[in-house]
Structure 1
Amino acid sequence: MTLMTLRQALRHLSDEGLIVQRAGKGTYVAPPHLAYRLGPLRNLADDLREQGLEVQTRVLDQALRRPPPPVAVLLGAPALRLERVRAFAGRPAVHQVSWVRKPFGNRIRAADFATASLYLTLADAGVAVARASETIRPAVLEEELAGHLHAEVGTPVFVSERITYSLDDTPVVADRAVILGEMMEIRATRAASGLSLTWSDVAAEVVPRRQP
């Protein structure tokens, strides 16, 4: 095989999204492009497992703490802080911090969230969730999270911020997830009811709202 033929083959594989070429570093097999689904109100890890991925969760923090002011206004203080890193396809891909309102957080603070779903654990504790509002925006990876995700500062990411409400419209969980952009794409199923997408005039923000 000539050098020109090899370059053409690599270019074709790159165009097909099967490999990634990084200047000065080499050529790598492209990571799987998995879906972050906007429709169902459930755990991200459950979505990934349904797509055939084995998901590993590492819990970094699980304790009652004082949330940042915007979360404290919403949930009160203190609240249960749950910090996790999700890994799949052989690498960390999602950093997630979930704040749970204290009365509900006290019911679930002893759960093993390395294996348990937050939503299912809340349900088992008698806390029914009804809807969530979520904002997803593009961003770049900041230094404080680069080590957790084993990626360079400035790497493209999605930032998801979600508020989950109980049946009586009480805010239960405030969640922030930082997702490596090269590992995930966003998909939505549009229907006459159940999910609406609002595109903001501000650069590339998507605000999905679940209808009560």
Structure 2
Amino acid sequence: MIADDLSTKIRGGELSPGSALPPQKELSARYGVTLATLRQALQQLEDDGLLSQQPGRGTFVAEPRAAYRLDSLRGFAEDLHAQGRLVATQILEQTVAQPPAWAAAHFGDTFHAVRLERLRLLAGHPAVHQVSWVYGLELAKADLSGVSLYAALAEHGIAVHRASEAVRPGLLDQATAALLRQPVGTPAFLSERVTYGLDDQALVVDRATILGTMMEIRTEREVSGLSMQWVQLA
């Protein structure tokens, strides 16, 4: 009852993100339950991503959580857009250049590729810095500010077949910290992804820095397989 009532108020906008709930004693009296029962309900809502309990400060309505699946061929923005999240993309650079060694190693014999540098903003806050190298020059002049890179490739008749991705923990360096508006040394996830076409030619090689204070990795293990997601922290 308590969890359902608070959940309805949060999802309906009556309790807005960032707003503080009344003290626990006041809430328990309002609902006519013990503190233990109230705390169980609050914990359930925190587990659901609707509340954030902060020791010494109180309980607050959490920002909406967002996730993108690591086990699909959709990109970060595509997954979040599909959930109705507000995601914006800033194109920092889109040029034709010679790929660095880490990208060229996957492309094989190529002298030029499209370098695409993007900043992803989640609910108006910088969350991801991404540098992508795209095989071929088809997307050199394409407007990629409002379209998925995979969708843009498809529009040019280039089919995406599979992708491999490695994610490791790291810290923001000075340049990336400035772009993400965070202190140097802030925790981050460092992602390296290679996307392949039907002929197993590498199409996109990119490196992304994902702000660790905003996102986390969650998995659900089932008999049928493993589901992995990025989840926005409250």
Q: Which residue of 2 aligns with 1:67?
A: 99
Rounded to whole Å, the distance in 2 between the matches of 1:78 and 1:93 is 29
Partners of 2:124 and 2:184 lie apart in 1 by 20
1:131 and 1:196, CA in 2 relative to 1: closer, same or farther beyond 3 A? Answer: farther
Partner of 2:208: 177
Q: Deviations over 1:166-191 (max 9, x none)?
A: 10111111011111112222245667
Asked whether 1:37 is paired with 2:39, we answer no
Q: Is the 8 A contact 1:32 1:89 kept in 2?
A: no
**CA RMSD of superposed structures (Å):** 3.3
Alignment-mate amino acid for residue 112 of structure 1: D
Evaluate the alpha carbon distance shift between residue 118 and residue 191 of structure 1 in structure 2; reply closer, same or farther with a 3 A threshold: farther
Q: Is the 8 A contact 1:94 1:180 kept in 2?
A: yes
Residue 107 of structure 1 aligns to a residue whose secondary structure is coil
Residue 74 of structure 1: how far off its partner (Å)? 1.8
Check if 1:135 corresponds to 2:166: yes
Q: SS state of the match for residue 73, structure 2?
A: coil
The answer to whether the Cα contact below 8 Å between 1:139 and 1:159 also exists between their aligned partners in 2 is: yes
Equivalence for 1:77 = 111
Cα displacement (A) at 1:38: 1.1
Measure the CA separation in 2 of the matches of 1:54 and 1:164. 25
- Relative distance call for 1:127 and 1:120 in structure 2 (3 A) is same
What one-letter code is carried by the residue in structure 1 that aligns with 2:84? G
1:189 and 1:142 map into 2 onto residues whose CA distance is 32
TM-score normalized by the length of structure 1: 0.74
Q: Please, which runs of 5 or more residues in structure 1 have no aligned partner? A: 22-26, 198-212
Q: Within 5 A, what are the aligned runs for 1:1-212?
A: 16=46, 18-19=51-52, 31-75=63-107, 76-101=110-135, 103=136, 106-188=137-219
> Which of 1 and 2 has higher RCO (CA within 8 Å, sep 6+)?
1
Larger CA deviation: 27-36 vs 115-124: 27-36
Give SS of 1:108's match.
Answer: coil
Residues 150-173 of structure 1: CA deviation (Å, up to 9, x unaligned): 111111111111000110111111
TM-score (norm 2): 0.68
**Cα shift at 1:32:** 4.2
Q: Distance in 2 between matches of 1:190 and 1:119?
A: 28
Distance across 1 between alignment mates of 2:85 and 2:221: 25
Mapped partners of 1:7, 1:140: distance in 2: 37
Pair 1:193–1:69, CA change in 2 (3 A): farther
